């Protein structure tokens, strides 16, 4: 199977009436970008329903993983490895394409193709993405953020940091009682080069550090 082919799912209403022609109505099919689940273990919920490997995941959906569970899926040119105890929302636009993600809690390893720019938002920060790879772990009082390679823009607490990395640039992000942000350089934790290789391989790509 060609792994570069983007899977699509039909909406419930496969056709809508767009306009009236002389001979009658014209029906135009509507398709929504749909993920391909590559791995699923433990209890994973999509839109609050227990998921299996055949469950469709579309932009606009919510994903929750329980203790000792993991989910890997490919959506368009982007790949995601969702850690246990993670709550994630896939953002979309009017064209039903993925525009970004909201990570409420937990961990997420992602690789992104070189299509349109996307962003990941948390309760305290926004990360702009430009064809890159990153790992993000969100806890109630702190955030661990690693630009594995590529370019990101980290914005939080009224500050903006442009980060360019070829092989892991990691920080621990914290806020004091007055909401003042601190960024401390950190070692690489909770994600590996082999996991990045695995995600990129789904698209016939290699991580930047292997080129």
Indicate the domain borders of the chain.
35-210
Whether the full predicted model's pTM is greater than 0.85, yes or no, is no
Secondary structure (3-state) at 54: coil
Q: Are strands 142-156 and 125-138 parallel, antiparallel or unpaired?
A: antiparallel
What does the pLDDT average to over 23-39? 58
pLDDT greater than 60 at residue 15: no
Residue 157: predicted pLDDT: 79
| Dihedral (CA of 211, 205, 164, 148) sign | negative
3 backbone dihedrals φ, ψ, rounded to 5°: -75, -10
Secondary structure (3-state) at 195: helix
Average pLDDT, the chain: 84
Q: So what CATH class is 35-210?
A: mainly beta
């Amino acid at each position: 199977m060609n792994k570069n082919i983007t899977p699509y799912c039909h909406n419930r209403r496969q056709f809508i009436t767009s306009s009236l022609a002389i001979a009658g109505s014209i029906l135009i099919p509507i398709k929504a970008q749909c993920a391909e689940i590559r791995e699923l273990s433990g209890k994973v919920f999509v839109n609050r329903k227990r998921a299996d490997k055949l469950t469709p995941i579309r932009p606009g959906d919510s994903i929750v993983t329980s203790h000792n569970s993991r989910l890997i899926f490919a959506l368009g040119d982007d790949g995601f490895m969702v850690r246990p105890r993670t709550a994630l929302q896939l953002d979309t636009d009017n064209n039903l394409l993925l525009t970004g993600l909201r990570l409420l809690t937990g961990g997420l390893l992602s690789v992104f193709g070189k299509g349109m720019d996307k962003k990941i938002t948390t309760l305290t920060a926004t990360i702009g993405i430009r064809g890159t790879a990153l790992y993000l772990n969100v806890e109630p009082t702190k955030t661990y953020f690693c630009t594995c390679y590529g370019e990101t823009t980290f914005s939080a607490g009224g500050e903006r940091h442009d980060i360019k990395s070829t092989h892991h640039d990691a920080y621990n992000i914290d806020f004091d009682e007055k909401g003042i942000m601190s960024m401390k350089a950190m070692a690489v934790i909770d994600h590996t080069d082999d996991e990045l290789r695995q995600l990129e391989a789904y698209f016939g790509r290699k991580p930047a550090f292997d080129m």
